[in-house]
Amino acid sequence: MMEFTLGIEEEYQVINPETRELISHDQQLVSRGEALLPDRVKAELHESQVEVDTSICRDISEAEDQIKMLRRTVCGMADELGFAIGAAGTHPFSTWHTQRITANPRYDEIITELQDAARSNLIFGMHVHVGIPDRHVALQMANAMRYFLPHLYALSSNSPFWEGRNTGFRSFRSRVFDKFPRTGIPDHFETLAEYDGYVDLLVKTKCIDSAKKIWWDIRVHPIYPTVEVRVCDVMLRADETIAIAALVQALVAKLHKLREANLSFNSYRRMLINENKWRAGRYGIHGKLIDFGKETEVPCKDLIMEMLDFVDDVSVSLNSRKHLSYIEQMIKTGTGADRQLNVYEETGDLLKVVDFVIEETKYGI
């Protein structure tokens, strides 16, 4: 039986606790992190960012332990260095053009190619890897998983502010990232040969030097034997991260189970899925998504509950039912975006919003 191992990456904001602005940590967090947890704490494009990666986790409980340990460690190191850590898809008011770029040949190359599209990419996401050793099967899982990306995006929405403005979106992060090439919902690829041919053509014509520069919302990872879901904002609470990681794992496991039984899952065109993604970013869980089969609008919250029912049978073997149940609480209390907006409506003060993000980031760890 396939194990559906897990890996999770989270990108955090490094914040000046006095001004509440983003601040460069001069790679001090990475240096300390490398000494404490080799390969688990990493630099990002901007010096006011830091990334944490779990190791390969056998199940969601191990992933939970690691994510909470990583948050605890990074928050502790930041406290010692005079910084604070925030987990939100965008910072409420810091501006991108005041941020320092991390000195690294890879980032230099990206800046040279993409210019302000890269410099302005001051966003923070969460990626979930699910182990699928066979690349042919992984591509089939990625094809089928595309349908669920807007649902996951809505549930993770946690970036309502951008450069001091209430954007009107529950998640503005994707609007920023869309300036990059090769982002968003990918096309459906019939075969692995078709996908590899696409990558080979881009390399041959010098669009990219490797498949690592394909930044879709879901991809067959170019190095690791995983399907990687990249659509989500980084979330306020570790419990939210784990709930969505458990849902991603369960969806892949359920789709794989259907495949093993020679049952197919409908594949919808990219342009249709994009309609749902737009709605998810604009309204979060409070809007309606399109049920393509019924050709009608359905409340997003209802579709999320249907998703939980869809994966319920595999959640038993994955030992993830407890973690998935937290999603019902997220629907009741609101996403990170909802809660950030509530603070802003109550106080009218973006400094208070940053304080809230900092506190929520440490909740339950």
Domain boundaries, the chain: 6-361
Domain at 6-361: CATH code: 3.30.590.20
Indicate the DSSP class of residue 232: E
The residue type found at 322 is K
Q: Pull the structure tokens for residue 86.
A: 């925030």
According to the model, what pLDDT value does residue 145 have?
Answer: 97
Tell me the pLDDT of the chain (365 aa) as tens digits: 688 999 999 999 999 999 999 999 999 999 999 999 999 999 999 999 999 999 999 999 999 999 999 999 999 999 999 999 999 999 999 999 999 999 999 999 999 999 999 999 999 999 999 999 999 999 999 999 999 999 999 999 999 999 999 999 999 999 999 999 999 999 999 999 999 999 999 999 999 999 999 999 999 999 999 999 999 999 999 999 999 999 999 999 999 999 999 988 888 999 999 999 999 999 999 999 999 888 999 999 999 999 999 999 999 999 999 999 999 999 999 999 999 999 999 999 999 999 999 999 999 99
Q: HSE on the CB side for 153, CA within 13 Å?
A: 32
According to the model, what pLDDT value does residue 265 have?
Answer: 82
**12 and 51 Cβ atoms separated by less than 8 Å:** yes
How far does the chain reach from its first CA to its final CA, in angstroms?
A: 32
Look at the block and give the residue holding tokens 């995006």: 153
Indicate the DSSP class of residue 143: H
User: How do 215-216 and 183-184 pair as beta strands?
Assistant: parallel
**209 and 149 Cβ atoms separated by less than 8 Å:** no
d(CA 299, CA 307): 13
Helix (H) / strand (E) containing 288: strand 288-291
d(CA 143, CA 189): 7
Query: What are the residues whose beta carbons fall under 8 Å from the beta carbon of 52, sequence distance 6 or more?
Result: 9, 10, 12, 33, 40, 41, 42, 67, 70, 71, 74
pTM of the model: 0.97
Whole-Å CA distances, 339 to 131, 169, 284? 33, 13, 12
According to the model, what pLDDT value does residue 1 have?
Answer: 62
Whole-Å CA distances, 130 to 153, 227, 239, 306, 361? 17, 5, 18, 22, 24
d(CA 16, CA 5): 36
